[in-house]
């Protein structure tokens, strides 16, 4: 008995290694943290992390202890940083697995010390207004961190922050604020090994923010953080190809209503092909009637509403049969629609297209060049 693979995200590990190597080389930065949160932006956290390390990353970044411990349990020993914690998180687990805890408040710092965390990295808010220690608390937090350290508490391995990518001027202001934070820490005798601020966009586009470490997520997966700029223009290779199969083809007459709400109606006698991917798999419903897919070298538009498990395409008289391959998106160099195309068709960003892929989509790992 065989069970067909109806939903497959093929992940090119060669692409991830190459993307990391080329981003690291062009940024000329010593330390490269590959961000593999959210299941490696949908690409598989463990496999993506390994490929990134092989490509030259020397740090891994994830949001929390659950994601970090998944990497440790898979045998990954590279240094790991986490930065988003619930008030009830027990940092003892991160201490046990030798994970650096990014702290955003005096409370998190105290809890890290109580849990005997070896290394903390202090996150400061420089203008994104999410987490990170607020500027009015910098003195207090750095003073307490220095005090805990001298009493044998956590070592302060880094100061870091995150940019709002709100334009050159806003980013520059954040860099200036970051330098103020570093000076405030220095006045308390804190001279951390790492200073980091840049994610993919700044790593490519704002050299002054590279400092001595960058934290790159999207770029590792070969996608561009800039609207209107494709992967190829940045020398990146999209690592994910989302594939499926036509499950059936049927002939219908002109005027046939298609899918929920009949938001598509055939204009002539035609054929409808059914694709077994839907919004439960992360295909954005708002791309109904807008996005295109690839079949045998041609593009076909989604016809009607994308449902939970499936959608329809009007294939006209093209010779498409059940079992034929459908590519949702991949590397546009090969003629496939891109994650950027799907983002545009759903008023979103490529980050969301890959990261939201559901658990029914199997991940398979390949090497485009071996």
Ligand X SMILES: *Cc1c(COP(=O)(O)O)cnc(C)c1O
Q: Which residues are catalytic?
A: 37, 260
What does 270-324 look like in DSSP terms, one character per residue?
EEEEEE---GGGT--GGGTTT-EEEETTEEEEB-S---SS-EEEE-TT----TT-
Do 237 and 278 touch, CB atoms closer than 8 A?
A: no
Nearest distance from residue 101's CB to ligand X, in Å?
Answer: 14
User: CA 167, 172, 178, 180: dihedral to nearest 10 degrees?
Assistant: -140
Do 219 and 35 touch, CB atoms closer than 8 A?
A: no
Beta strands 264-265 and 311-314: pairing type?
unpaired
Tokens of 277: 């991917």
- Cα distance between residue 299 and residue 230, in whole Å: 19
Nearest distance from residue 185's CB to ligand X, in Å?
Answer: 18
Instruction: Tell me which stretch binds ligand X (CB under 6 A): 86-94, 143-151, 194-202, 314-322.
Output: 194-202
Do 215 and 199 touch, CB atoms closer than 8 A?
A: yes
**101 belongs to the binding site for ligand X (CB under 6 A):** no
Do 362 and 9 touch, CB atoms closer than 8 A?
A: yes
Residue number, 94 or 188, with CB nearest to ligand X: 94
Count of beta carbons in the 10 Å neighbourhood of residue 100: 25
Site track for ligand X across 122-161, x = CB under 6 A? ----------------------------------------
Going by C-beta distance under 8 Å and a sequence separation of 6 or more, which residues neighbour residue 252? 266, 269, 270, 271, 272
Site track for ligand X across 222-261, x = CB under 6 A? ---x------------------------------------
Nearest distance from residue 344's CB to ligand X, in Å?
Answer: 18
Tokens of 286: 């708002």
Q: Please pick, from the candidates 7, 19, 44, 83, the single residue that binds ligand X as defined by CB under 6 A.
A: 83
**284 belongs to the binding site for ligand X (CB under 6 A):** no
Phi-psi region of 302 (alpha: psi -120 to 50; beta: other; left: phi over 0): beta
**42 belongs to the binding site for ligand X (CB under 6 A):** no
**217 belongs to the binding site for ligand X (CB under 6 A):** yes
- Cα distance between residue 266 and residue 255, in whole Å: 5
Q: Which regions of the chain does DSSP assign to beta strands (E)?
A: 7-12, 31-35, 59-61, 80-82, 100-103, 119-123, 155-160, 194-198, 213-216, 240-245, 248-252, 257-258, 264-265, 270-275, 292-295, 298-301, 311-314, 325-329, 362-366
Q: Please pick, from the candidates 200, 245, 270, 305, the single residue that binds ligand X as defined by CB under 6 A.
A: 200
Nearest distance from residue 130's CB to ligand X, in Å?
Answer: 9
Site track for ligand X across 292-331, x = CB under 6 A? ----------------------------------------
Q: Please pick, from the candidates 13, 15, 29, 35, the single residue that binds ligand X as defined by CB under 6 A.
A: 35
Residue number, 35 or 293, with CB nearest to ligand X: 35
Residue number, 34 or 327, with CB nearest to ligand X: 34
Residue number, 52 or 272, with CB nearest to ligand X: 52
CA angle, 97 then 103 then 109, to 5°: 90
Instruction: Tell me which stretch binds ligand X (CB under 6 A): 196-204, 256-264, 296-304, 327-335.
Output: 196-204
Residue number, 18 or 314, with CB nearest to ligand X: 18
Instruction: Tell me which stretch binds ligand X (CB under 6 A): 20-28, 199-207, 341-349, 359-367.
Output: 199-207
Nearest distance from residue 221's CB to ligand X, in Å?
Answer: 8
Instruction: Tell me which stretch binds ligand X (CB under 6 A): 168-176, 217-225, 276-284, 328-336.
Output: 217-225
Interface residues toward ligand X, by CB under 6 A? 35, 37, 83, 162, 199-201, 215-219, 225
């Amino acid at each position: 008995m065989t069970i067909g693979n109806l939903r497959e995200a093929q992940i090119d590990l060669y692409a991830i290694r190459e993307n990391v190597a080329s981003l690291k080389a062009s940024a000329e930065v010593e330390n490269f943290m590959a961000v593999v949160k959210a299941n490696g932006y949908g690409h598989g956290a463990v496999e993506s992390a390994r490929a990134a390390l092989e490509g030259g990353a020397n740090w891994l970044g994830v949001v929390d202890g659950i994601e970090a411990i998944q990497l440790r349990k898979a045998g990954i020993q590279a240094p790991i940083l986490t930065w988003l914690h619930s008030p009830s998180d027990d940092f003892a687990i991160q201490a046990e697995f030798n994970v650096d805890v990014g702290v955003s408040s005096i409370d998190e710092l105290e809890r890290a010390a109580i849990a005997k965390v070896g290394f903390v990295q202090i996150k400061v808010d420089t203008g994104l207004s999410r987490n990170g220690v607020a500027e009015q608390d910098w003195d207090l937090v750095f003073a307490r961190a220095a005090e805990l350290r001298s009493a044998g508490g956590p070592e302060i391995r880094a100061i870091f922050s995150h940019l709002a990518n709100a334009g050159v001027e806003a980013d520059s202001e954040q860099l200036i604020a970051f330098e103020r934070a570093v000076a405030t820490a220095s006045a308390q005798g804190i001279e951390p090994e790492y200073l980091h601020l840049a994610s993919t966009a700044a790593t490519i586009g704002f050299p002054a923010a590279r400092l001595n470490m960058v934290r790159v997520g999207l770029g590792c997966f070969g996608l561009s953080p800039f609207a209107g700029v494709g992967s190829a223009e940045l020398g990146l290779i999209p690592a994910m190809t989302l594939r499926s199969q036509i499950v059936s083809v049927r002939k219908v007459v002109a005027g046939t209503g298609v899918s929920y709400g009949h938001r598509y109606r055939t204009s002539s006698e035609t054929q409808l092909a059914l694709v077994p991917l839907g919004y439960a798999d992360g295909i954005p419903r708002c791309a109904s009637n807008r996005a295109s897919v690839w079949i045998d070298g041609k593009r076909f538009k989604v016809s009607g509403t994308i449902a939970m498990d499936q959608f329809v395409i009007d294939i006209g008289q093209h010779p498409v049969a059940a079992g034929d391959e459908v590519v949702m998106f991949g590397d546009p160099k090969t003629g496939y629609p891109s994650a950027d195309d799907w983002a545009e068709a759903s008023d979103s960003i490529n980050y969301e297209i890959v990261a939201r892929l559901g658990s029914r989509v199997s991940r398979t790992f390949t090497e485009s060049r071996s």
